[in-house]
Amino acid sequence: MHFDLNEETKVMQDMARRFAEREVLPRIREDGFKRDLVSKMGDLGLFGCAFPPGIGGSGAGFLAHSVVCEEISRADSGLRALFNLQAMTVPYTIMEWGMPETRSRYVQDLILGRRIGCTCFSEPNVGSDIASTETRITDEGDHYRIDGAKTWISNGTVAEVAVVYASHDRSLKHRGLCAVVVETDQPGWSARETPKLGDKSSPIAEIHLDGVRAPKENLLGEWGGGFKVAMTALDRGRISVGSGAVGLAQACLDASVRYANERVQFGKLIREYQLVKGLIAEMVSLVEASRLLVRRGAWLNDQDRPFTREIAVAKYFAGEAVVKAAGMAMEIHGGMGYSLELPVEKYYRDSKLYQVGEGTANVMRLLIADDALGVKKANRPRLHVPGDFRDLS
């Protein structure tokens, strides 16, 4: 692994940073979904790094995706979810597991920001244990019927395309799981926004599916093979989540350095105090270590090598690091950290999601520990799925 970014990735990084400064930061206090920013990021190709040029991407790779995601999250962590839903867990999953007609119908529109996507994993009674999914999929001959409920669905109120995970036979556990692409503009699909602590620019919803239909060609992978689809989607989603955590931790560090260089107490800048220096040093170390771990996972994926363990370590560490960094930023800012006048309170609220999304911290601990103890290896041979995406046109 080379620690220097190649020229193509540097160009993408610079483009994302300039976009964030010009378009995102001036609107940081605007709550709610910003549809125009999705379109603009799609037009710039920010969602398409990991996709081949023939299908609307740049072919820059997963490391470039990580770098771009970090830059946008550094400006507004709430936009980080888009890099899952407009890249990893919706269009990439469709590209990897879908039939050719399904790819052509959805993938390019999603990565160019023309349509909004969401992924439906969690349910009121099912969180980390996706094999216990209660939402039911039924083969109705010429189409599939889906009935059930989903919760904590990012972009659920605005999505036009959803990858829904449902079971055709709950007694089979993970062997009964199916993944299917659903269009949301139909009877039986209803969404209600869930109020939440942070990430205000990324709406989260409760979804009800009552007789929702999907054409047969929208099945991803095999009938009953949805667990494999889900695991590959979650692995790649953790690249986005880990990268977002790094970006937000960097924002906490940036704000703390600025404040320490400006704030005077007892006749001198607070940067002169050892306790403040200690906090800054720890934040720098957390950010740097998180960045290297996340980029290693993304790089391994670019090399077409197993990376489940490595991205779990990265996601776990970065999620813990950003929560610590946000707390330290609040401490350095003192009373102003608690004020709505500065963005530090927003960073503090946004940070907690990184210990929950795309696999909770405890689930990551279990995966990492089981691998280390020899209970269950996290990394398995890469799945061979249809198609060489580099040649897609």
**Residue 257: how many CB atoms within 10 A of its CB?**
16
For residues 19 and 25, the answer to whether their CB atoms sit within 8 Å is no
Predicted structure pTM score = 0.95
Q: Strand 219-220 and strand 204-215: pairing?
A: unpaired
Q: Would the pLDDT of 13 be above 80?
A: yes
Amino acid in position 323: V
Q: Would the pLDDT of 348 be above 70?
A: yes
Q: What is the pLDDT of residue 54?
A: 86
User: Which CATH architecture fits 228-391?
Assistant: Up-down Bundle (1.20)
What are the C-alpha distances in Å from 200 to residues 77, 88, 190, 302? Answer: 9, 21, 21, 32
pLDDT digits (tens, 9 = 90+) for 224-276: 999 999 999 999 999 999 999 999 999 999 999 999 999 999 999 999 999 99
Vertex 126: Cα angle to 122 and 132 (nearest 5): 115
CATH superfamily of domain region 7-111: Acyl-CoA dehydrogenase/oxidase, N-terminal domain (1.10.540.10)
Catalytic residue set: 358
For residues 85 and 119, the answer to whether their CB atoms sit within 8 Å is yes
Length of the chain: 393
The dihedral through the CA atoms of 338, 341, 342, 344 has a sign that is: positive
Q: Would the pLDDT of 386 be above 50?
A: no
Q: What is the pLDDT of residue 255?
A: 98
Segments making up each domain of the chain, as ranges: 7-111, 117-224, 228-391
Residue 393: pLDDT band with limits 50, 70, 90:
very low
Task: Look at phi and psi of residue 287 and say left if phi exceeds 0, alpha if psi is from -120 to 50, else beta.
Answer: alpha
For residues 148 and 123, the answer to whether their CB atoms sit within 8 Å is yes
Strand partners, 179: 165, 220
Mean pLDDT of 381-389: 56
320: three-class secondary structure by DSSP: helix
Q: Which CATH fold would you assign to the domain 117-224? A: Butyryl-CoA Dehydrogenase, subunit A; domain 2 (2.40.110)
What are the C-alpha distances in Å from 9 to residues 16, 93, 324? Answer: 10, 23, 29
pLDDT digits (tens, 9 = 90+) for 292-317: 999 999 999 999 999 999 999 999 99
Copy the structure tokens of residue 243. Answer: 């990268």
Q: What is the pLDDT of residue 392?
A: 53
Question: d(Cα 315, Cα 127) in Å, to the nearest integer?
Answer: 18
Residue 7: pLDDT band with limits 50, 70, 90:
very high
Mean pLDDT of the chain, nearest integer: 94
pLDDT digits (tens, 9 = 90+) for 101-119: 999 999 999 999 999 999 9
149: three-class secondary structure by DSSP: strand
